[in-house]
Amino acid sequence: MISSREELQRVREMYSRNLMTEKKRILVCAGTGCVSGGSLEIFERLSELVSKRGMNCQVELQEEPHENTIGMKKSGCHGFCEMGPLVRIEPEGYLYTKVKPEDCEEIVDKTIVAGEHIERLAYNQNGIVYKKQDEIPFYKKQTRLVLEHCGQIDSTSITEYIATGGYCALEKALFDMSSDDIINEISEANLADAVEEDFRQDANGHK
């Protein structure tokens, strides 16, 4: 249990280091759309193949260093459901689309073991092949704030959330701000106006 600021900072630093030292991370989208397209089967198949190739398959972040492990993660919905099931490979940032269980062997042997990109699984628009998720026009137009890490960490893991800065705002509010500071910050953010504007647009039938 985390009961102090120092403990939160120690835990964040430890899990952040362990997350960054994973040799590779395979993120299989476990949002509803991709699950309905078979992503959980793909997750199991990839995990099995990674282990079969003699690599250390790590599903959860541990307290020990993670050098030479292959992290297997179930990510949240990337917002690109029509191209699912999606598989993202880190640290390269490769995004594979419409992945099928029969593609798993090639993904493990070519991308995980040999470090090669598989062009036929990449997103293709107007003849242009996009290797990385960030390069795809659909994502390029977006600035993700709350969902900044969506698709890049295990969406069910509180340790990965903490490792990527989770609870920083709570920490700041608890230890660096007075009650008045917090009230002022919320007031200045105009959240009430933003919500009111949302309601107004809803009532008018458009957004």
Q: Is 58 helix (H, G, I), strand (E, B) or coil?
A: strand
CB 83 within 8 A of CB 23: no
The CB-of-122 to ligand FES minimum distance in angstroms stands at 15
Kind and range of the H or E element at 38?
none
Residue count (the chain):
207
The CB-of-97 to ligand FES minimum distance in angstroms stands at 9
The CB density around residue 119, as the number of other CB atoms within 10 Å, is: 9
| 33 vs 71, beta carbon nearer ligand FES | 33
Q: Residue number with the shortest CB distance to ligand FES?
A: 31
Taking Cα atoms as reference points, which of 149, 67, 68, 51 lies closest to residue 108?
A: 51
| 14 vs 26, beta carbon nearer ligand FES | 26
| 26 vs 29, beta carbon nearer ligand FES | 29
Q: Which residues in this chain contact ligand FES in the complex, by CB under 6 A?
A: 29, 31-34, 77-78, 80-81, 84, 86
Q: Put residue 203 in one of left, alpha, beta given phi > 0 → left and psi -120 to 50 → alpha.
A: alpha
The CB-of-82 to ligand FES minimum distance in angstroms stands at 8
The CB-of-34 to ligand FES minimum distance in angstroms stands at 3
